[in-house]
Structure 1
Amino acid sequence: MKIEQLYNKFLECVSVSTDSRSIEEGAMYFALKGDNFDGNKFAQQAKEKGTRYCIVDNSEISEQDSDFILVDDVLNTLQALAKHHRQQLKYPIIALTGSNGKTTTKELIYAVLSKKYKVKATIGNLNNHIGVPLTLLRFRPDDDFGIVEMGANHQKEIIFLCSIAQPDYGLITNFGKAHLEGFGSIEGVIKGKSELYDYLKSNNKTAFINSNDTIQTEKIGSYDKVISFGSDVQNDISIQFISANPFVNVKFKDVVISSHLIGSYNYANIAVAIALGDYFKVNLKGIENGIENYSPDNNRSQIIEKANNKIILDAYNANPTSMLAALENFKNLEAKQKFLFLGDMFELGNTSTKEHQAIVDYIESNFETSTVFLTGKHFASTIAKSNIKTYNSFDDLKAELKHHSIKNASILIKGSRGMALERVLEIL
């Protein structure tokens, strides 16, 4: 079936889904396959739940129902359909990538632009070769903007996602030591993320550049379709950093905007949302309200009060760059007692030992009077001083914490998603 014919059937559907367990009546179901599952086997289940069409790539399955549409490859078809759908949309799409802060930045941009426009954005962090197509297929012709978050852990992924989403505007949050196992090095990260700039340049589209980031200014080079933002008054859009104690405050057009985000590293995320809002004519009050009304959730830089403790919960993910930024911010907070609960950083490849030891060395130099709990096999293999306690697993940590009573303290909790360190909250 040609993609144009499939698209007509897509227009009959209320949504798309790849999960037969939670599917909407009238949806189009894509029977994706993975290493440990085959969505074709659940097409009948999806049909029984009310799907309009099931896209399958197993000929035997397709013969079971006239609404089962056989294709050569379900994933390729999902991506091709999303690309075709994007070509029908007549409004701007903003793409963003980066090593840290993508989802927070995406949510901030959405919060600001939605004060004036009808906006759709990536839900959660559905930002890969499956998530981006699913995001695009949620966009509707009567929207005003689409915001697409793009993630990658190898070269050529960002340029591939750009070929599907075809953004009109793009930005990179930062370049950091994330997914080093796939990218190979920080230079590999920079090259991979900069594929967004490559796409924008080759298609004469516009880049938003944080002039405070020398790597961004270097990688964009002499390209002229650039909107610059940052603390320098010479930028196209100037936003001043005021403070982060603990929440980030900035000044824009003589108005102080107070966020609910902690850490000076969030300045850049706030600044680009302000810059996009200003560029697209959201009024100053709308920009201010968008930033000030946004509160982080889902274990991202949340401040929680529990048992007379002030807890910074930043356990959604971690890499050497974001871990160091969180530690630097925590170091500068005033507190009588400080406790650190840190978990392993994943996907670092053969740099893992060096990067975990570097974090331990930083802690030894900057948190001599703090109590530090490090969890995971990578941290457990480091060499640490006496105030730093290491545990091979969360169960080992949990057993130890039963003997501790932590009160009236400031606490940082941070680790990679697989460590699920938010479980510390249940113990405190």
Structure 2
Amino acid sequence: MKQQILADNNTYEIGIQAYIYAYPMILMEITRRLLTNVEASTDELVPMNQFGHRRDFPDQTSKAVVRPNADTLYSVAWFDVSQEPLVLSVSDTNGRYYMLQIIDMWTDTFAVPGSRTLITKAVNYAIISPKWQGKLPDGFEPIYSPTTVGCINGRTQTNNVADYENVHQIQDGYKVTPLSQWGKSYTPPTKVAVNPAWDMKTPARVQIANMSAGSYFGLFATLLKDNPPHQVDWNIVKQLEQIGIVPGQDFEFSKLNSTARQMLEKALVDSPKIIANQGERFGENINGWQIAREGMGSYGISYLRRAYVALIGLGATVPEDIIYPISVIDGDGNPYHGSHRYVLHFDRDRLPPVNAFWSLTMYDSSGYFIENPLNRYCIGDRDPLKFNSDGSLDIYIQHDSTGKTQESNWLPAPADEFNLTIRLYWPKTEILSGEWNPPPVKRVK
């Protein structure tokens, strides 16, 4: 009897680990379906192996994405290289900052062509599946994808609304072409087969929450056939085999005994809470800012961290590209509220040390932009800020107008609760090492 109890507990524990390990890939897959299961491109949806571009900033009416940015315009292409490599082409950006983050189905960033990697001239890459055995022609930079399916998440520096036309020209230079069509007059298909069985209305996280253990782990096993574990995952792969999950094989939930099925169902209920609670141990808390300088975008065997990052920000990139300090409290530890006035002060020699640019963004308590008389959702070093006589900088954070003399440095706040995010694009070593931290936001008394 004791051995049976131990075996049952072991099944439950492995089920927890399996859920956490699988979660990013399951979330990627459901998200992929929601964004690509269309015959032809629309404003929001684009078929596989085609680029879709965001042509303007979101505003206070946009609720599709939590914590959007007003610094860059996005260009996204989900890819499937199971049949052949996919050529990724980039035109000359004329020195403008951009990055094309490429992530696998585990949410690991494995390549980031762009300004940080010193590429602003025209170039052609070939994204290659781990199963492909062909020979790549000359003239292509190979990018080896750890998984057959993945996503290109592009960001192009956009200074303001007047800058849109310039950015659109650069976005139009991002192209993906099947290798067999390279050099030919290729037009992306406009009549792509869709899967009518896929749920295109329910948000990805809700779909996952509604899955049974058989459905969740069954889908995971199916995905593993084309998206193999990383080499460092050998230990957890051995554990998964004990509950019947073997890479390359179907998962037959019905063949497990009833107790094992019950334990996996229990693991399915308990695992999301474990992932959510990881936030309490995520990053550092300094001056009222939560800062994650490591363990983002490339996770190794930190499966719980990877799952948590997928939960709060699917597709997060590596710190070398962007760091996002978040603040929900002022320097005294009190939550922000629009009934108060605040100042973020940077000393002359303590401005954010970045190679690209930085911004401070305002969000309401739900993580969305707020309506304000300036239609200003963020403020940063590309704005016509007024510096103090000693070279220091003050940003005024408040609901009521500052008046014309300080309006250039005013970040409008809502009348009630809010929170802030600093975006540090291509941060310098001082940020990555922790030598530099954002100063506290101080309430004006």
- Per the TM superposition, whether the score is higher than 0.5 is no
Query: TM class, shorter-chain normalised?
Result: under 0.3
Higher-helix-fraction structure = 1
The normalised TM-score by structure 2 is: 0.23
Structure with more relative contact order (C-alpha pairs < 8 Å, separation 6 or more):
2
TM-score when normalising by structure 1 = 0.24
